[in-house]
Structure 1
């Protein structure tokens, strides 16, 4: 039985194995790497606007991000991660959804990239 090089899960010989950067990884780790949502995706924005439920379909974590941005205005990534206690990969995945729904966006404040509400008067 082999072990995934990324997460350490045991993989049976009948399981699908993938090679990623020279390592044998499980299907979940492979998909996490190749299926990362892209923030700047016009087709995703179009699709989200046509088929999305707006804020009704958001996860609790996505709602917490929006609440934080509403209360704190534009803020840098580090402050968001610290305040919400989440890792960068989770934030970026959730932020891509919020961006596609045109609920949140990134903006420059001075020389720093900050995140804010899409329709915010402060940015």
Structure 2
């Protein structure tokens, strides 16, 4: 049976890891950490530790102390994408156990309207003799051509048509903006990406 832990159970695992010393851990140390960090009650911590013991994730060692059994595998569900990930591969971000892909997507945002990035990109392109779509990736060139043909398109439509996540689409569009190839414009009730010179 595959053991899939929920959010509170993952919090307790993290508290156990922090409270763990050479000879094991004491539940009172886990309770202190869980109460201070996550606001969990004493009874909730005992209940979860008992659940983890039942599934073999927490065991009693030869000294009579509890310890985390690293050989028992468990999974957590990423709250962002819903994917089940092994317990040793998640990243704890603001109390949520997220997968590496969602973590990277969240932290690799490129700002669309960034004057310093525009200035830097313009200088780089000028110094390297790049004009128009020269120096862009294939996907960036395709996006730019599509925007020119359409005249104005929403980032959501670009995301769907090109098979990109919303964040990937925004990042690619931000690079085009830094090259001064596209810009934002309100068309009707929608905010669209349009060619820069339109």
Q: TM-score, normalised by structure 1?
A: 0.75
**Are the aligned partners of 1:11 and 1:26 in contact in 2 as well (CA < 8 Å)?**
no
Aligned to 2:96: 23
**Alpha-carbon distance in structure 2 between the residues aligned to 1:82 and 1:26:** 22
Count of equivalent residues: 117
**Larger of the two Rg values belongs to structure:** 2
Q: TM-score, normalised by structure 2?
A: 0.50
Deviation of 1:60 after TM superposition, in Å, equals: 1.3
> What value does the CA root-mean-square deviation take over the aligned residues?
2.5
* Structure 1 pair 45–66 and aligned structure 2 pair: CA distance change class (3 A): same
Map 1:98-109 to 2 at 5 A: 98-109=176-187
Any gaps of 5 or more consecutive residues in structure 1? none
Aligned to 2:115: 42
Aligned to 2:17: none
Deviation of 1:25 after TM superposition, in Å, equals: 4.1
* Structure 1 pair 3–60 and aligned structure 2 pair: CA distance change class (3 A): farther
Higher relative contact order (CA 8 A, sep 6+): 1
Deviation of 1:26 after TM superposition, in Å, equals: 5.6
Any gaps of 5 or more consecutive residues in structure 2? 1-72
Structure 1 ranges of 4+ moved more than 6 A:
none
**Alpha-carbon distance in structure 1 between the residues aligned to 2:156 and 2:175:** 19
**Alpha-carbon distance in structure 2 between the residues aligned to 1:84 and 1:28:** 19
